[in-house]
Amino acid sequence: MSFKDILNSGKFVVTAEVGPPKGTDIKEMIHHMEILKGKVDAVNVTDNQSAVMRICSMAVSKIAMEHGLEPIFQMTCRDRNRIGLQSDLLGASILGIKNLLCMTGDHVSAGDHKGAKPVYDVESVQLLKIVDGLNNGKDMSGNEMKGSTDFFQGAVVTPEANPIEPQLIKFEKKIRAGAKFFQTQAIYDIEKFKDFMKHARKFPVKILAGFVVLKSVGMANFLNNNVPGIRVPQVLIDELKAAGKEKALDTGMNITVRHIKQLKEEKICDGVHIMAIGMEDKVPEIMERSGLL
Amino acid sequence: MIITKKRDLKDLLENVKNYRSFFLIGCSECATLCGTGGEPELKAMKEALEAEGKAVTGTFVAKTGCQVLGTKVELKPFKEALDKTDCIIVMSCGAGTQTAVDLYEDKAVFPSNDSLFLGNMTRLQFFDERCSLCGKCILDKTGGICPITACPKGLLNGPCGGCKDGNCEISPDIKCAWVRIYERMKKLDKLQEFCEVTIEAKDWSASQKPRALTAREEKKK
C-alpha cells in the first residue's frame, strides 16, 4: 500500500526522517534506513536541511526505495529556480518517487555556504501549484507535456507560530494550491495543538503532528531560543529538570510517547512525524512504547 | 536614494598605487546624504592621497553624478585639471563612477564606495531598503509593503515557518514582513483579500539586465 492509500485508509500513520549526509559515505545512512524499514509508513528525505550542503534528496529518496522504504521527497525553493524545480520533479517522477513535501527552505545564512545566492524564484504555495500542474500534464508556463507526473504532495505548517493568523492564512493557501497532507513543526503543547486541529479539521487534508525528542534541559532551552516555531512549555522543562541528567533522555522519550498516545487515543490528528535528529535508532522504541508497532 | 558605503581606504590605495595624480568627483545627491561623496569626504580623500605623496589636480562635487550630459557640462571648467590627471576617483555610486568612464575613455577610473541598495532615509544616515527595483510592482497587492525586499526569502504568500514572536528569523531585530503586511491589511479592512488572493510566481523578465528605458517613447503610448 502506498503512503497515500495508508493515509486515506484511516490508519494512524507514522513517518520518520532520513537526513542525507555530507559526502559520499552512506554506510550510516543505510544503517538508519534498515532500522526504520518495515516499521514506519514513509520516510522523509530532507533537502539540504538547515541550508547545509549534503547529498541531494532525490538520490537518497531513490536509495530509500531500494531499501524497502517509501520516501517523502522534500523539496525546498532555496536552491533552484522554476526550471530546476520542475526538471527535478520530472526526474523524481521517472525514478518512481511518489510523495512530495514542498517547502520554502531555510535561508542560506543558516547554513555552511553563507555566500551562496538564495534563489526563492518561487515559494511553497507556488511550488504546490506547479506540482498540481505537472500532475495534470502541464508545465508552469502552460506547455503540454508528454506524460504527466503522479505526485502525492504535502506541505508544512507551524501550529506554534506567533502570531498564528498569518500562518493559518498561508496554510489555507497551501490547501487551495493542492496540498493533500501536512507535517507540522515539532509540537510540545497538546492543548494548543488541539486548537490548531479544530481549525485544520475544516479542510479535507491529513495532518501529521511533528515530534522532536527532548534529550536534555539544555536542548529544550536551545530549541526555545534558537528554533523558530518551536515552543517547549516550562512544565516539560521542569519535568526534565526533576528527572536529573542521568534520566533526561528517558524522560524526553516518555514525554514524546505520552503525547503520541494521547493524539492517537483521542483521534486528534491523522498520524505523527518523528524527527529523530541523530536518534534514528530510538524511533522503533518510541513507536513500540506508543503502541504503534 | 542610492545608498553607498566607503570602501576600505587601504584597498583603494592598493588599487591606485601605480598612479601619481588624481581628480576627485563627488555627488551632491545621494552620496552627500550618505556621507560618502560630499565636500567633507572629498577633502578627506584629498588629504589621504597627499599623505601618500600623491598629487590631487582638482576636486568637484557633481550636481547629479548619474546624469551623464549634465555632469559633462559641469566638468568643462575643470578641463585642465582633468587633462593633467592619471586617474579619476569617483566618490558616489556605481552609476556615477560609470558616468566618468563614459566621459573619460582614456583615464583610469576607480570607485571609492560600494553601492548597496535603493534606500529610504528614516533618520539622519539611517537607511532602510524598501524597494528592490524588480520592474513589476506588487505593492498594490501587499498593503504597500514590499515582501520581495522586506522578507529575506522574498516570499509572496505569507510568512515562512521561521517567524519568531512576530520577528524575522534571519534578521531577528526586524519585524517579519508578512506580519507587517497582515497587520496593515487588517487595519485597512482588506484581510478577506489577503486570505483569498494567491500571488502568482513573479515574472522576473522585467528584471533582466541590463535594463534601459526611453521615457520619450513611453510618453507616446
Give yes or no for residue A277 having a pLDDT over 90: no
Confidence band for A231, pLDDT divided at 50, 70 and 90: very high
The partner residue sitting opposite A169, judged by closest CB among B152, B164, B195, is B195
Please tell me the predicted confidence (pLDDT) of residue B31: 98
Query: Which triple of cell numbers denotes residue B175?
Result: 519585524
Give yes or no for residue A226 having a pLDDT over 90: no
Give yes or no for residue A136 having a pLDDT over 90: yes
Which position has the grid cell 566621459?
B103
Q: How far is B113 from chain A (nearest CA, A)?
A: 21
Give yes or no for residue A229 having a pLDDT over 90: no
| Element housing A220 (H / E) | helix A217-226
C-alpha span between B22 and B11 (Å, rounded):
16
What's the rounded mean pLDDT across residues A105-121?
Answer: 96
What's the rounded mean pLDDT across residues A85-105?
Answer: 98
Q: Residue B90: CB partners within 8 Å, gap ≥ 6?
A: B24, B25, B37, B65, B96, B97, B99, B100, B109, B110, B111, B112
Q: Residue A50: CB partners within 8 Å, gap ≥ 6?
A: A106, A110, A111
Q: With an 8 Å Cβ cutoff, is B198 touching chain A?
A: yes
Please tell me the predicted confidence (pLDDT) of residue B214: 92
Please tell me the predicted confidence (pLDDT) of residue A3: 98
Cβ proximity of A96 and A64 under 8 Å = no
Q: Which of A77, A126, A132, A226 is the best mutation test for B, with the most CBs of B within 10 A?
A: A126
Q: With an 8 Å Cβ cutoff, is B152 touching chain A?
A: yes
Query: B201–A126: do the CB atoms touch at under 8 Å?
Result: yes
Give yes or no for residue A278 having a pLDDT over 90: no
Give yes or no for residue A138 having a pLDDT over 90: yes
Determine the 3-state secondary structure of B158 from DSSP: coil
What's the rounded mean pLDDT across residues A221-250?
Answer: 93
Q: With an 8 Å Cβ cutoff, is B155 touching chain A?
A: yes
C-alpha span between A214 and A251 (Å, rounded):
8
Give yes or no for residue A227 having a pLDDT over 90: no
Query: A228–B194: do the CB atoms touch at under 8 Å?
Result: no
Query: B154–A126: do the CB atoms touch at under 8 Å?
Result: no
Confidence band for A35, pLDDT divided at 50, 70 and 90: very high
Query: Which triple of cell numbers denotes residue B183?
Result: 497587520
Query: B154–A120: do the CB atoms touch at under 8 Å?
Result: yes
A-chain residues near B170 (CB < 8 A): 107, 109-110
Q: How many CB atoms lie within 10 A of CB B18?
A: 8
Cβ proximity of A14 and A287 under 8 Å = yes
Q: How far is B179 from chain A (nearest CA, A)?
A: 7
Show pLDDT as tens, one digit a residue, over chain B (221 residues): 999 999 999 999 999 999 999 999 999 999 999 999 999 999 999 999 999 999 999 999 999 999 999 999 999 999 999 999 999 999 999 999 999 999 999 999 999 999 999 999 999 989 999 999 999 999 999 999 999 999 999 999 999 998 888 999 999 999 999 999 999 999 999 999 999 999 999 999 999 999 999 988 878 87
Query: A229–B161: do the CB atoms touch at under 8 Å?
Result: yes
Query: B162–A165: do the CB atoms touch at under 8 Å?
Result: no
Q: How far is B166 from chain A (nearest CA, A)?
A: 6
The partner residue sitting opposite B153, judged by closest CB among A118, A173, A228, is A118
Chain A: which residues have CB within 8 Å of chain B? 78, 82, 103-104, 106-107, 109-110, 118, 120-126, 129, 140, 156-158, 161-163, 165-167, 169-170, 172-173, 176-177, 185, 228-229
pTM reported for the whole predicted model: 0.94
A-chain residues near B201 (CB < 8 A): 82, 121-122, 126, 140
Query: A125–B157: do the CB atoms touch at under 8 Å?
Result: yes
Please tell me the predicted confidence (pLDDT) of residue A12: 97
Cβ proximity of A141 and A85 under 8 Å = no
Q: Which of B141, B151, B153, B184 is the best mutation test for A, with the most CBs of A within 10 A?
A: B153
Q: With an 8 Å Cβ cutoff, is B204 touching chain A?
A: yes
Please tell me the predicted confidence (pLDDT) of residue B206: 94
Q: What is the percent of chain A where pLDDT is above 70? A: 100
Give yes or no for residue A280 having a pLDDT over 90: no
What's the rounded mean pLDDT across residues A120-125?
Answer: 98
Tell me the per-residue pLDDT of A211-220, one tens digit each, with 9 for 90 and over: 999 999 999 9
The partner residue sitting opposite A120, judged by closest CB among B153, B162, B166, is B153
Chain B residue with the nearest C-alpha to that of A110: B170
